[in-house]
Chain A
Amino acid sequence: MAIMTCDSISLQRGSTRVLSDFSLEIEEKAITAIVGANGCGKSTLISVLAGDLTPDSGSVKLLDRDLEQFSLSELAAMRSVVLQHQNFWLAYSVQEVIEMGQDGPSLARVDQVMSELGIAEIAGQSVLTLSGGQGQRVAIARALVRDTPIYLFDEPFASQDRESRKALIEIFRGLREQGKTIVIIAHLADGDLEWCDHIIEKLS
Chain B
Amino acid sequence: MKKIYVLASAIPLLLLIALAIGATEVNHVWSAIFAFEFNSESLDDQIIWQIRAPRVIAAILIGAILGIAGSLSQAATNNPLADPALLGTTAGAAAGVVIGVATNLVSLGSFTAVIAAAIGAMAATLFTFWLARSALQLIIMGISVSAILTALVGIAISLTDRSDLRSITFWSLGSLALIASSDLLILIAVAVIVLLVALKLSPQLDLLSLGDNAVRHIGRDPQRIRLIAFLTLSVAVAASVSTVGTIAFLALAAPHIARFIVGPRHRNLLIASAVIGSIILLLADTAARSIAPPQDLPIGILIALCAAPLLILALKKGAMQWR
The interface of chain A, by Cβ under 8 A from chain B, is 50-52, 72-77, 80-81, 83, 86-92, 96-97, 100-102, 126, 128-129, 139, 142, 146
Pick the contact of B218: A87, A90, A96, A102 (CB < 8 A). A102
Pick the contact of A89: B203, B209, B216 (CB < 8 A). B209
Are the CB atoms of A83 and B321 closer together than 8 Å? no
Are the CB atoms of A87 and B211 closer together than 8 Å? yes
A-B contact pairs, 13 of them (CB 8 A): A72-B220, A72-B221, A83-B214, A86-B210, A87-B211, A89-B80, A89-B209, A91-B264, A92-B209, A100-B206, A101-B203, A101-B206, A126-B320
Pick the contact of B219: A75, A86, A128 (CB < 8 A). A75
Are the CB atoms of B319 and A91 closer together than 8 Å? yes
Interface status of B322 (Cβ within 8 A of chain A): yes
- Say how far A129's CB is from chain B's closest CB, in angstroms: 8
CB-nearest residue of chain A to B269: A90
CB-nearest residue of chain A to B215: A101
CA distance A83 to B211 in the complex (A): 11
Are the CB atoms of B219 and A92 closer together than 8 Å? no
Q: Is the interface of B mostly helix, strand, loop or mixed?
A: loop
CA distance A97 to B78 in the complex (A): 15
CA distance A50 to B215 in the complex (A): 13
Given contacts A76-B217, A90-B322, 19 further A-B contacts (CB under 8 A): A52-B213, A72-B219, A72-B221, A83-B213, A89-B209, A90-B264, A90-B321, A91-B263, A91-B319, A91-B321, A92-B209, A92-B265, A96-B265, A100-B203, A100-B207, A101-B204, A126-B320, A129-B320, A139-B214
CA distance A102 to B209 in the complex (A): 14
CA distance A101 to B213 in the complex (A): 13
CA distance A73 to B320 in the complex (A): 35
Residues of A within 8 A of B263 (CB): 91-92
Are the CB atoms of B78 and A89 closer together than 8 Å? yes
Are the CB atoms of B214 and A142 closer together than 8 Å? yes
Interface status of B28 (Cβ within 8 A of chain A): no
Most buried by B among A75, A92, A101: A101
Interface status of B323 (Cβ within 8 A of chain A): yes
Pick the contact of A76: B204, B213, B218 (CB < 8 A). B218
Residues of B within 8 A of A72 (CB): 216, 219-221
CA distance A92 to B262 in the complex (A): 11
CB-nearest residue of chain B to A92: B264
Are the CB atoms of A101 and B220 closer together than 8 Å? yes
Are the CB atoms of B207 and A101 closer together than 8 Å? yes
7 nearest CB pairs, A to B = A76-B219, A90-B264, A73-B219, A101-B207, A81-B217, A100-B207, A87-B211
Are the CB atoms of A126 and B319 closer together than 8 Å? yes
CA distance A156 to B295 in the complex (A): 64
CA distance A147 to B173 in the complex (A): 55
- Say how far A169's CB is from chain B's closest CB, in angstroms: 23
CA distance A51 to B216 in the complex (A): 9
Residues of B within 8 A of A87 (CB): 210-211
- Say how far B303's CB is from chain A's closest CB, in angstroms: 25
CA distance A90 to B80 in the complex (A): 9
- Say how far A145's CB is from chain B's closest CB, in angstroms: 10
Residues of A within 8 A of B215 (CB): 101
Residues of B within 8 A of A80 (CB): 217
CB-nearest residue of chain A to B79: A89
Are the CB atoms of B219 and A100 closer together than 8 Å? no
Residues of B within 8 A of A90 (CB): 209, 264, 321-322
Annotate B261-274 by CB proximity to A: 1 below 8 A, 0 otherwise: 00111000000000
CA distance A77 to B219 in the complex (A): 8
CA distance A106 to B277 in the complex (A): 36
Residues of B within 8 A of A97 (CB): 210
